[in-house]
A and B are shown apart, each in its own frame.
Chain A
Amino acid sequence: DQQVKQNSPSLSVQEGRISILNCDYTNSMFDYFLWYKKYPAEGPTFLISISSIKDKNEDGRFTVFLNKSAKHLSLHIVPSQPGDSAVYFCAASHSNYQLIWGAGTKLIIKP
């Protein structure tokens, strides 16, 4: 049973517009959430994270929102750029170093 779900395998967005990637989880014990970005033939790289005690974290063009009551988080990228085209993974942890990963969403930024 997947504890972290990314229900959209792919997403296509026009350059300059907002990209919104979604992630749902089932385990209410998760206390930390992370987003990773992955280019082909490379390992995932850390993008942004949020603690469960917060509902928003912002870093430049990237903002993560956490809705604990809905067990939902989202990553907003504004404005979207061609270099943002990649696979985005949502991951979660509960009080330890182990991460539970979603299946990923492939983001395509159209020029």
Chain B
Amino acid sequence: DAGITQSPRYKITETGRQVTLMCHQTWSHSYMFWYRQDLGHGLRLIYYSAAADITDKGEVPDGYVVSRSKTENFPLTLESATRSQTSVYFCASTLKRGSSYNEQFFGPGTRLTVL
């Protein structure tokens, strides 16, 4: 199916473990983003990517690693999970900005619990 998908949808892990959240989009959008949503904070940008092999930090990048070897995939890795990383994670994508802003399209989210 076309669109943007995330896997897994739910994940429980333990402190110190490595976790990878997957994101896949079928629109060939240039830009992809990872956000976390916490109560009282709205969505905060973790990392973004302008194209394959181009990534950069967002507002809250510490403890996270991303890669983008293919345009359609943008995995997010927590190298050593901490309880503070318990959150809902959203992946999003958008076309390269042209004369007007292109809204971002979101996946369904991954709810991660770190025990």
Please tell me if A22 contacts chain B, counting CB pairs below 8 Å: no
Which of the segments B12-20, B71-79, B93-101 contacts the partner chain? B93-101
Q: Give the number of chain A interface residues (Cβ < 8 Å).
A: 23
From A6, A42, A49, contact of B101 by CB (8 A): A49
B contact residues around A4 at 8 Å (CB): 42
Interface contact B41-A43, CB-CB below 8 Å: no
**Complex: how many Å from CA A97 to CA B40?**
23
Total A-B Cβ pairs within 8 A:
55
Please tell me if B61 contacts chain A, counting CB pairs below 8 Å: no
Q: Give the number of chain B interface residues (Cβ < 8 Å).
A: 25
Q: For B50, B97, B107, which residue has the most chain A Cβ atoms within 10 angstroms? A: B97
Known: A97-B97, A98-B58, A103-B42. A34 touches B103 (CB 8 A): yes
Known: A49-B103, A102-B42. A43 touches B31 (CB 8 A): no
Interface contact B105-A46, CB-CB below 8 Å: yes
Q: A83-109: which residues lie under 8 A (CB-CB) from chain B?
A: 89, 91, 93, 96-99, 101-104
Q: B79-115: which residues lie under 8 A (CB-CB) from chain A?
A: 90, 92, 94, 97, 100-109
